[in-house]
Amino acid sequence: MNMLEVFVSSLEEFQPDLVVLSGLHMMEGQSKELQRKRLLEVVTSISDIPTGIPVHLELASMTNKELMRSIVHQQVFPAVTSLGLNEQELLFLSQAASGPHSSLSSWNGVPDVGMVSDILFWILKEHGRSKSRASDLTRIHFHTLVYHILATVDGHWANQLAAVAAGARVAGTQACATEAIDANRVSLQAPHEFMTSHSEVGSRIVINPNEPVAEWHREGISFHFTPVLVCKDPIRTVGLGDAISAEGLFYSEVRPHS
């Protein structure tokens, strides 16, 4: 983060298609005052990124609820276009900011799809772009071991089906360290059917093996769900979330702001 200002000032010359940020979790050991100050600097730096360049923030595991609350409320979420996170980060975020299912102390086995969907919906409804809110946040890529969900605000992204499928594919190849998915080395552990919500009347979805990416919609937000072929004997697990988010971003098409 010490390099953030220098980095942002070079973007005019470099003209990237996308900026990916991470590392906010590394502020956990600092004082509240310093955390607040640095987060404000982060938001200022992000707002200096030329318009039209999407910014993806990859979250990481945290234990400090106040820092997570600050990231949510101190305008960091509205300043970024896209978020990447896993099941621990998602539930912790909901607990810190009093979101849906925040009374849950931890996931019991595979995170419930309907509950995950409720929290993703709440983040985009509370902090995402809408007619009444000038936020840039329009996309969340959620990954857990056995499935991924890509949630997007309608009208801002395209190619979600390919993006979420590519993220799932790279999870299998990277963990097994193979060029392509090796059917003998992976297993399917995702739920075969699930409810799309628990905080309202959701629909029941049964996964079709021929078209494994399931899609549903809720109040202007689209959800794309894919099972993951899980490597039975993983060789590489470090940086898996980063690889999933990067691959998903590579296939995602951002629609220019109208």
242 is catalytic: yes
**What pairing do the DSSP bridges indicate for beta strands 186-188 and 229-231?**
antiparallel
The helix (H) or strand (E) run that includes residue 67 is: helix 65-73
Helix 87-96 to helix 65-73 angle, to the nearest 10 degrees? 80
> Could you say which of 17, 48, 182, 242 is catalytic?
242
Which amino acid type is present at position 254? V
| E-strand stretches of 76-192 | 82-86, 139-143, 147-153, 157-158, 186-188
Pair 113, 191: CB distance under 8 Å: yes
Helix 4-14 to helix 32-47 angle, to the nearest 10 degrees? 10
What DSSP line would sit under 166-187, residue for residue?
A: HHHHHHHHHHHT-SS--GGGEE
Catalytic center residues: 242
